[in-house]
Amino acid sequence: MGLLLLGGRYDDLCNMFMEEKYSGVGISFGLNRIFLVLDELGKLEKIPSAENALITVFDEGLKNESLELFAELLDAQIPSEIYLKEKNLSKQFKYADKKNISFVLILGPDEVENNTVLVRNMKNGEEKIVKRAEIVEFFKSNKQ
């Protein structure tokens, strides 16, 4: 495993930018490695999500529609996340449940054809079909 912390002394570093001579010291944290260790220990699973919605990717052919929906929610400042790993929907629902995400949005072939979004409330399991053009308004009226 790599280092988590690095530090050092930087004599005359400021001299590159100014005439006065100053010494300096610095430190760096290996945040990527810290998060990898926390993930391996299962500690990241307990961090609550700030996301209000998880946009699923039904399949590779519908990924662009999911990305467009994700961008629309972000533009409307609705905290959202998109699940880009190639996994079946049940794993995506488990992911949302584990992260305590309130709503899961599904854009399957039927939804795309009908210009709708299937929205599942993860708190009570209720599902609702929302017109695609009204999805931002749905979230604004259902603030958690």
Task: Name the H helices within the chain.
Answer: 31-40, 63-75, 89-98, 109-114, 135-141
Q: Is the pLDDT of residue 130 over 90?
A: yes
Backbone CA torsion sign across 28, 29, 30, 31: negative
Expressed in angstroms, the distance from the first to the final Cα of the chain is 41
Query: How far, in Å, CA of 8 to CA of 15, rounded?
Result: 17
- State the pLDDT at residue 48: 54
Each residue's pLDDT tens digit, 44-94: 665 555 568 999 998 888 899 999 999 999 999 899 999 987 778 899 999
* 76 close to 52: Cβ distance less than 8 angstroms: no
> What's domain 48-141's architecture?
3-Layer(aba) Sandwich (3.40)
- State the pLDDT at residue 65: 93
Query: How far, in Å, CA of 35 to CA of 2, rounded?
Result: 13
Angle at 18 between CA 17 and CA 22, to 5 degrees: 100
Q: What percent of the chain has pLDDT over 70?
A: 90
Residue spans per domain, the chain: 5-45, 48-141
- State the pLDDT at residue 143: 65
Q: Is the pLDDT of residue 1 over 70?
A: no
Each residue's pLDDT tens digit, 116-128: 999 999 999 999 9
Q: Which two tokens stand for residue 144?
A: 């958690």
Each residue's pLDDT tens digit, 20-39: 777 777 777 777 777 777 77
Of 61, 47, 137, 144, give the one whose Cα is nearest residue 98.
Answer: 47
Of 99, 95, 103, give the one whose Cα is nearest residue 125.
Answer: 103
- State the pLDDT at residue 133: 95
- State the pLDDT at residue 11: 75
Angle at 135 between CA 130 and CA 141, to 5 degrees: 100
